[in-house]
A and B are shown apart, each in its own frame.
Chain A
Amino acid sequence: MGSQGGWGQSKEFLDLVKSIGEARSKAEEDRIILREIETLKRRIAEPDVPRRKMKEYLIRLVYVEMLGHDASFGYIHAVKMTHDDSLLLKRTGYLAVTLFLNEDHDLIILIVNTIQKDLRSDNYLVVCAALTAVCKLINEETIPAVLPQVVELLGHSKEAVRKKAVLALHRFYQRAPNSVSHLISNFRKRLCDNDPGVMGATLCPLFDLIKEDINSYKDLVVSFVSILKQVAERRLPKTYDYHQMPAPFIQIKLLKILALLGGGDKQASGHMYTVLGDIFRKVEASSNIGNAVLYECICCVSSIYPSPKLLETAVDATSRFLKSDSHNLKYMGIDALGRLIKINPDIAEEHQLAVIDCLEDPDDTLKRKTFELLYKMTKSSNVEVIVDRMIDYMISINDNHYKTEIASRCVELAEQFAPSNQWFIQTMNKVFEHAGDLVNVRVAHNLMRLIAEGFGEDDEGADSQLRSSAVDSYLHILGEPKLPSVFLQVICWVLGEYGTADGKYSASYILGKLCDVAEAHSTDDTVKAYTTSAIMKICAFEIAVGRKVELLPECQSLIDELSASHSTDLQQRAYELQALLGLDSQAVESVMPLDASCEDIEQIDKNLSFLDSFVIQSIEKGARPYIPENERSGMFNIGNFRSQYQHEASSHSLRFEAYELPKPSPPPTVAQVALPLPTTDLVQMPEQTYPRETHQAANLPSATHASSADFGVKLRLEGVQRKWGRPTYSSPSASSSSSTQKTANGATHLDGGGTASSQTRDSFYDSRRQQAEVSAEKQKLAASLFGASTVKSEKRQPSAHKTPKGISTSTEKPAVKGAISSSEPPKEKTLPSSPPPDLLDLGEPTPASIPSVDPFKQLEGLLGPTSAPSAIDHSSAAGPKAPDLMALYADAPPAGVSSGSLNPALADMYTVNKNSHETANVAAVKKGPNLQDSLQKDATARQVGVTPTGNNPNLFSDLLG
């Protein structure tokens, strides 16, 4: 078929496609489409449009939507087209509908009927078209309408129909697992379908099922292994081959399933070792697809119960990936390494230089993947280098999504492995400064708590040193023009608590700074609240030691401004501050004790007994006594809660629905005393419509959640006073500087053990800068990342004694030296295998990196005599193989519903292809000598952007342009 379109396409359509193809800008394309929309709107509404014409209109509508414009005016015609008798038109109709509508669209209901009819059709292609549509259009509600038919089609004589029926069922499972929970066994049955296409498709739902519930499918391990074995032995039809690999996509899916099933299960994993070893051996690492299978094998090996032999092979394969020149393979290698180090962290050390190359690669994708690896291998000895690198990278990127991720990783690592509190605070400062708006508020609270609590040891000196260094750094940072709100909150809080603690800065200096902050961020209420509280604390500390506080004019005007603020919170803080300024020193000290943010507040009088006299006075003056809410004239009686609502609605009295039940606390006692109680006293609401509306809205949830509402009320009954008393005390406002943070923040573990002072680090960087030679730098980095043991011991010593700079530089040297010596051997190793360009080196260097093909031989020994011949001679093994396989089946334990029937079926279903398999082998042998040539071709083809099909070098040669 030429590129000029087939028969039956009108000139109009050809012109449209051409003009879209030739459009040179998005604007031009939009103009064409807008014109097209006008044309289509007219044409499509004409009476008696011929059906073929209508099909073309639909395709044009698909174009309209694909290019980003609304084509909803034509949806109904797509729906109509699905009724058509002609298969092509029907399928086009279904296609258009699936592209236009999501499963919850109103028009779907019109299609369900057509689908039902088509599922009954004699023409299996019509059935297939309907099943394809089912996978896209049926939602949870309409599943029952087609489910029985779909189940029936699982036994259809045509394999294409069975396959689609399995997939439709898979779709139902994805949408609403409960709707098909009784039909799960069908997937097991279809796994032994004698058509490999059906079997391959069934792997998809099984994968999902196994992911949810691994243990229920352990019995299938043997079946999966034997299927994989047969696939790898080329027992599937040749049409499944892809670039000489037998059904690689099915192999990959099977490997994924095995990885799930074998996780932490020694017995299940034991079944897999042989076949995994076979695949490792057979895969041709010169093709992309071979590497894809290889990678999946590595994933599988690293997730199942470890086998030392297989791990060794996996590590070899990974190192080949890492040493490759192809960025894609390096990427896969880094990923694989990340999986393998979970089993054995030492594996990474051998590849340190490769990893650092990837880290410094200009390719962003590779860099990120490497950061992911570093994140996985962080420990207290290398946390400083890794987090520094991460922060540098974080600063350099603009992608907010990734910035958030890497920032939270930095925080996580710093919290987990921080060598010193000072380093932690500095790191946090950097994270906040550059990604403050993206990190979780929790992180800010953790930081404040850390500064307040200090080391957790009883070393007050170190704690206050830490605090003054924090204050110093914050006063410095405040000079920066733009700071994130969360960070400012931390800064204000710390300045308020500790700004004047060491006497280095005067109160008025700190107050001035705080006022500047409030002024500069006049739109951020939270920051202003924090500054006000900080000002209050500074003033309180001053008053407490007997000094007179002279408020700066800007400070006074700030307070005045806040007292009139729209935010009640700010107002309250301002008034509290003013009230505090009027108190004497003793009162102030008990209200705002110095450095008491970590003290627990005790002796809270939850009964507010100190108000008793006030209450008695009020009652004497004629106020009504307080009646607990639940006792109030049965209004809140739980029993008839719902009937109460209805009653209320009819009487139009109080709008109770405005006061949601679970909400805490009516206002405190004083207000309660004055609260008018009997609802009947109230005047009828003037606007009657409003309560009715709200009531209806409120009635629905109350009806459905009656039980939960009841529960809420019950809670209330038990301890009303405590309930409404609490919020006043536990309010998280920072002004109270209460200890609530302590409990709220959860426990963070700080590793105080690895203490390396930041001085050592600084000097380390200084010396690094002097080094002009790149490779030395890299090695150093490698040493700091990987050479854990040597560097660690070197670092610890100086930091423990807090040695001055001079000494620490000298101690750094042996560390570097050690690193060089430790990283030298792998480098030498890589040298011989590096020269061959492109993908070629994947095939070549095997002998270089693996000393003669030994590991495989060892594996063979492991496999025993039965499978050994298959490894050595392929074609001759095909004969004796079959009985062998049968024996394997016989050994298999009966696997629930399926495997009894499965095994014989599997055994004979692929033997038909044995002949073709043999010829395939011959072909493969013939190809042998040409391997080099074809690889060369591959490489050149790759450079021009065309990918290797070999038989089709002109692929795309006649493309546009």
Chain B
Amino acid sequence: MGIRFILLVNKQGQTRLAQYYEYLTLEERRALEGEIVRKCLARTEQQCSFVEHRNYKIVYRRYASLFFLVGVDNDENELAILEFIHLLVETMDRHFGNVCELDIMFHLEKAHFMLEEMVVNGCIVETSKTNILAPIQLMDRAS
């Protein structure tokens, strides 16, 4: 399975984007987000960007006020996931131009579309920014 969920959370712990690759009920999501956000936000810059939580790991990265958290299985390459987060940010950056928290909030569906191109069935399936953004740009032009 690999990736179990991707969360964007700001430094107040408010969810800005949530994509799960296995089904969890609303209550489970709420509990999980509360737990891991508390765990990750309490960490310092010097500490690892990885946190073990129950039977999986969370790889996270902070960009200004936004935390990107990715829950992965234990046998996943953590450094690669860390760079995947950065690739996601670079992709958003290319699309929005100097992306910020509000961009993601105002265009939540676009951010989701990008993720839909990049991650399917919990696997990273596309890493070329051009390929990721092509359908989104075509859609923008059509409408």
Q: A residues touching B (Cβ–Cβ < 8 Å)?
A: 1, 3-6, 9, 14, 17, 20-21, 23-24, 26, 29, 59, 62-63, 65-70, 86-88, 91-92, 95, 99, 102-103, 125, 128, 132, 135, 160, 163-164, 167, 170-171, 174, 197, 200-201, 204, 237, 239-240, 242-243, 247-250, 252-253, 256, 288-289, 291-293, 295-296, 299, 327-328, 330-332, 363, 365-366, 368, 401-402, 943, 945-947, 949, 952, 954-961
Contacts and interface: CB of A to CB of B under 8 A. Distances in A.
B6 to A, nearest CB: 12
Nearest to A291: B79
A252 B75 CA distance: 13
B84 A249 contact: yes
B5 interface: no
A331 B96 CA distance: 34
Nearest to A160: B135
Contacts of A952: 93, 98
B109 A167 contact: no
Given A174-B1, A248-B80, A954-B98, 4 more contacts: A6-B107, A9-B106, A160-B131, A363-B48
A85 to B, nearest CB: 11
Given A296-B77, A327-B47, A945-B64, A242 B14 contact: no
Contact of B77 (A4, A88, A242, A295): A295
A66 B17 contact: yes
A702 to B, nearest CB: 33
Contacts of B121: 135, 167, 170-171, 174, 204
A401 B13 CA distance: 23
Contacts, number: 220
Given A363-B47, A401-B54, A952-B98, A204 B125 contact: yes
Given A59-B108, A327-B47, A200 B23 contact: no
A14 to B, nearest CB: 7
B63 A946 contact: yes
Contacts of B142: 87-88
Interface residues on B, range: 35 or more
B112 to A, nearest CB: 5
Specify the main secondary structure of chain A where it touches its partner: helix
B98 A955 contact: yes
Given A92-B109, A240-B127, A249 B80 contact: yes
A93 to B, nearest CB: 10
B98 A197 contact: no
B126 A197 contact: yes
14 contacts: A125-B138, A167-B121, A204-B125, A249-B84, A289-B79, A299-B77, A365-B48, A402-B52, A945-B45, A945-B62, A952-B93, A955-B63, A957-B64, A960-B102
Contact of B120 (A135, A289, A291): A135
A23 B12 CA distance: 9
Contact of B63 (A5, A92, A167, A956): A956
A188 B45 CA distance: 44
A331 B48 contact: yes
Contact of B64 (A99, A249, A330, A959): A959
A197 B128 contact: yes
Nearest to A256: B77
Contact of A20 (B23, B26, B45, B105): B105
A332 B49 CA distance: 11
A537 to B, nearest CB: 42
Contacts of A87: 139, 142-143
Contact of A167 (B18, B29, B55, B120): B120
A201 B119 CA distance: 10
A3 B106 CA distance: 7
Contacts of A23: 14
B73 interface: no
A362 B80 CA distance: 24
A201 B113 CA distance: 17
A689 B14 CA distance: 54
Contacts of A252: 77, 80
A958 B101 CA distance: 9
Contacts of A204: 120-121, 123, 125
A327 B48 contact: yes
B36 interface: no
B21 to A, nearest CB: 9
A960 B143 contact: no
A327 B50 CA distance: 10
Contacts of B135: 125, 128, 160
B65 A239 contact: no
B41 interface: no
B106 A17 contact: yes
Contact of A248 (B83, B107, B139): B83
User: Shortest 8 CB-CB distances between A and B: which pairs?
Assistant: A292-B79, A102-B23, A204-B123, A3-B102, A5-B106, A239-B128, A956-B64, A292-B80
B12 A24 contact: yes
Contacts of B46: 327, 363
Contacts of B127: 200, 240, 242, 247-250
Contacts of A943: 45
Nearest to A124: B135
Contact of B83 (A174, A288, A327): A288
A1 B137 CA distance: 13
A291 B120 CA distance: 25
B30 A68 contact: yes
Given A201-B126, A240-B128, A95 B109 contact: yes
A95 B116 contact: yes
Contacts of A102: 23
Interface in B6-21: 10, 12-15, 17-19
Interface string B68-110: 0000000001111011101101100100111111110111110
A63 B54 CA distance: 27
B105 A163 contact: no
B84 A91 contact: no
B106 A956 contact: no
Contact of A960 (B33, B52, B65): B65
A298 B130 CA distance: 31
